[in-house]
């Protein structure tokens, strides 16, 4: 894979990118080793050990393991004394419970586990920034390198915060990136606002009265009620929400009755006593979140009641929206433009309806989250053939190093 570097001219990089490119083979080898040994959320023991060992090898001032269970935080102080400023850079470490279908030499050695979201690349790019900044220490203040466990559905960022992350390692601001298929390799997208949606989870249990399927008038059928609820829920976004606000409501599971044997007459045709529904709601604006939460409960209860059943509603706000602080997004834009040239930096892009637990850190500290393009012709995130594009490793590492230096200089 060829190295993707910005064309000379038009950028003001101070040599960071070229210096990091000199140890590109180290980064690629590290990333491929992580790819071959994926670990799920809060099981990242090998990954954490490799990270801690690398940070110690770079001569870090402090390396703390076990932060938020399997997280690692490296502390690096600059050589320009007198500054009490601090900045946090975060990379997520966990893999997915997905069977890898790729055939590359560094494919996962663990059945049913793979780095399908490119977090192996995130860890490696943050280590690249760590190695470079540990070598130069050309800043005043402290950089905290945050290697976070359990991003994929475990809210590991919240677990680190609850474990005292920002009390133990103060950060004036925090920054993170996600590799992004569909953006050209080596480009950056950052918004002065929303990047990723919030995610709420809900569960509805429709309680009815079971009975003989040929005598439905003696039952209160939860299957019919559940179907009506699912159909009515489609009106929340289309009829209750201001059309100028973006939101998604998806029912992803509907379960009732016994297992189905295709083409085999059922011995006992029974209306089940209950039906279970599970879904998610995605939104950016808190007012939209409020409408979704209120209307899911109202529709489930009223619709179920109209059909002689009863709905129990559980609603869990799981992840907040990922919203950048405009000055921090501007810092990222400036750093990326200096490094890559203005033509490789996009702002004002459409945010994603996917979610990201870095939002918990952005709720605690100002900061910014941006996307690093890995190419338009690569499989999407979470695809069983996904393999992080090693060509962008030096670019991501140089971006993180530059952002840390500029945040401390601001
Ligand atoms: Zn993911
Ligand atoms: Zn991810």
The torsion angle over the Cα atoms of residues 6, 10, 13 and 17, rounded to 10 degrees, is 10
Q: Which ligand is nearest to the CA of 177?
A: 2
User: CA–CA separation, 45 vs 106, rounded Å?
Assistant: 19
Pairing of strands 86-92, 173-181: parallel
Pairing of strands 274-283, 247-256: antiparallel
Q: Which ligand is nearest to the CA of 374?
A: 2
Separation of CA 227 and ligand 1 centre (Å): 31
Q: How many residues does the chain have?
A: 410
Separation of CA 2 and ligand 1 centre (Å): 26
| 16-195+323-409 belongs to CATH 3.40.630.10 | yes
Residues in the chain predicted with pLDDT less than 70, given as ranges, are 1-13
Separation of CA 119 and ligand 2 centre (Å): 6
Contacts of 310 (CB under 8 A, 6+ apart): 206, 207, 208, 301, 304
Separation of CA 155 and ligand 1 centre (Å): 12
Q: Which ligand is nearest to the CA of 369?
A: 2
- The model's pTM: 0.94
Tokens at residue 214, please?
Answer: 């040929």
Separation of CA 99 and ligand 2 centre (Å): 16
> How many Cα neighbours within 13 Å face the side chain of 390?
17
Contacts of 119 (CB under 8 A, 6+ apart): 91, 92, 93, 94, 95, 151
The answer to whether 142 and 74 are in contact (CB under 8 A) is no
Separation of CA 300 and ligand 2 centre (Å): 32
Query: pLDDT by residue (tens digit) across 262-280?
Result: 999 988 889 999 999 999 9
198-257+267-319 CATH, one of 3.30.70.360, 3.40.50.300, 3.30.360.10, 3.60.70.12: 3.30.70.360
pLDDT of residue 26: 98
pLDDT of residue 293: 98
User: CA–CA separation, 321 vs 356, rounded Å?
Assistant: 8
Q: Which ligand is nearest to the CA of 153?
A: 1
Separation of CA 134 and ligand 1 centre (Å): 29
Separation of CA 278 and ligand 1 centre (Å): 20
Structural domain spans, the chain? 16-195+323-409, 198-257+267-319
Separation of CA 310 and ligand 2 centre (Å): 38
pLDDT of residue 2: 39
Q: 264 vs 245, 259, 268, CA distance in Å?
A: 47, 12, 12
């Amino acid at each position: 894979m060829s190295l993707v570097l910005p064309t000379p001219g038009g950028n003001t990089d101070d040599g960071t990118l070229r210096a990091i490119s000199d140890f590109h083979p180290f980064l690629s080898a590290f990333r491929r080793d992580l790819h071959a040994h994926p670990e799920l959320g809060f099981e990242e023991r090998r990954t954490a050990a490799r990270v801690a060992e690398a940070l110690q090898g770079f001569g870090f001032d402090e390396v703390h393991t076990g932060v938020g269970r399997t997280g690692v935080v490296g502390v690096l102080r600059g050589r320009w004394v007198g500054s009490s400023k601090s900045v946090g850079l975060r990379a997520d470490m966990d893999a997915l419970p997905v069977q890898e279908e790729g055939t590359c030499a560094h494919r996962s050695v663990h059945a049913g586990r793979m780095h399908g979201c490119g977090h192996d690349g995130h860890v490696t790019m943050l280590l690249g920034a760590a190695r470079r900044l540990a070598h130069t220490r050309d800043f005043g203040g402290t950089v905290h390198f945050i290697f976070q466990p359990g991003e994929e559905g475990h809210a590991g960022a919240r677990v680190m915060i609850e474990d005292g992350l920002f009390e133990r390692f103060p950060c004036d601001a925090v920054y993170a990136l996600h590799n992004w298929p569909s953006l050209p390799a080596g480009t950056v997208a950052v918004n002065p606002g929303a990047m990723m949606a919030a995610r709420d989870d809900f569960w509805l249990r429709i309680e009815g009265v079971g009975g003989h399927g040929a005598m439905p008038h003696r039952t209160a059928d939860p299957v019919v009620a559940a179907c009506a609820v699912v159909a009515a829920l489609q009106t929340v976004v289309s009829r209750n929400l201001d059309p100028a606000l973006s939101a998604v409501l998806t029912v992803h599971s509907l379960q009732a009755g016994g297992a189905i044997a295709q083409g085999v007459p059922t011995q006992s045709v029974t209306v089940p006593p209950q039906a279970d529904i599970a879904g998610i709601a995605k939104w950016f604006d808190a007012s939209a979140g409020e409408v979704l939460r209120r209307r899911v409960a109202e529709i489930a209860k009223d619709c179920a009641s109209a059909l002689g059943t009863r709905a129990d509603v559980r609603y869990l706000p799981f992840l907040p929206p990922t919203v950048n602080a405009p000055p921090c997004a501007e810092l990222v834009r400036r750093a990326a433009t200096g490094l890559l040239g203005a033509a490789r930096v996009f702002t004002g892009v459409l945010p994603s309806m996917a979610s990201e637990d870095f939002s918990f850190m952005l709720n605690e500290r100002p900061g910014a989250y941006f996307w690093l393009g890995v190419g338009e012709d690569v499989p999407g995130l979470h695809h069983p053939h996904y393999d992080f594009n090693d060509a962008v490793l030096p670019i991501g590492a140089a971006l993180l190093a530059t952002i840390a230096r500029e945040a401390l200089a601001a």
